[in-house]
A and B are shown apart, each in its own frame.
Chain A
Amino acid sequence: NAGVTQTPKFQVLKTGQSMTLQCAQDMNHNSMYWYRQDPGMGLRLIYYSASEGTTDKGEVPNGYNVSRLNKREFSLRLESAAPSQTSVYFCASSESKGAKGTEAFFGQGTRLTVV
């Protein structure tokens, strides 16, 4: 049981390049999330998808787009990468609905550097 799988694990981009971070979960969860974590900081929510076919902005959505491809997959796209987007990106999934719910499972992260 793989849980939440993110690809790639590491990536270096040049300013202005685009790329898509992939995330897949095999737990049949409804909700999926993308977070970023800058050095020494807590995680900040970029986008989330409460269920298949829906997406919503989080705290820091600017410069990103997302696609909930199906129930398993939730991708994050950087259209024109900037050095300020250098960060570690985490994908997560959960079965929760509303306040009550179950735990969120996180992937191991994608370490992105934009030069």
Chain B
Amino acid sequence: DAKTTQPTSMDCAEGRAANLPCNHSTISGNEYVYWYRQIHSQGPQYIIHGLKNNETNEMASLIITEDRKSSTLILPHATLRDTAVYYCIVKGHDYKLSFGAGTTVTVRA
């Protein structure tokens, strides 16, 4: 499975868009990019996933670069409840999700 690199932490103002970067330069052609978040030691929550096209759902948007070596998760209007650890994961051919350290996002009022 390709490894990912994320910033350790970032702050965001409430009501503004939060842009979370992720590098996955060794991703292979049929591996998907997944994003999960974990709020205050609860079980991780799925956000979104994609292969090469940009994806959007009710929670977020996922922008994947054309070469697929990086991606950005966008939370369009961050709220205090979006404060969490966000994990970018590249999912390989097996069934496993491998979590790194993630990005701690703090949304400030």
Contact = CB atoms under 8 A, between A and B. Distances in A.
Contact of A99 (B30, B87, B100, B101): B30
B68 to A, nearest CB: 13
A45 B98 contact: yes
B97 A99 contact: no
A9 to B, nearest CB: 12
Contacts of B14: none
Interface residues of B, number: 26
B96 A48 contact: yes
A112 to B, nearest CB: 13
Contacts of B97: 33, 45, 92, 104
Contacts of B49: 103
B21 to A, nearest CB: 17
A42 B91 contact: no
A99 B46 contact: no
B44 A106 contact: yes
A106 B49 CA distance: 16
A32 to B, nearest CB: 9
Q: How large is the interface on A (under 10, 10 to 19, 20 to 34, 35 or more residues)?
A: 20 to 34
Contacts of B101: 41-42
Contacts of A100: 30, 32, 51
A64 interface: no
A38 to B, nearest CB: 12
Contact of A90 (B30, B43, B93, B94): B43
Nearest to B28: A99
Contacts of B46: 103-105
Interface in B82-101: 87, 91-101
A53 interface: no
Interface of B: 30-32, 34, 36, 41-46, 49, 51, 87, 91-102
17 contacts: A42-B99, A45-B96, A48-B96, A88-B41, A92-B44, A97-B95, A98-B93, A98-B95, A99-B30, A99-B91, A99-B92, A99-B93, A100-B32, A100-B51, A101-B32, A107-B43, A108-B43
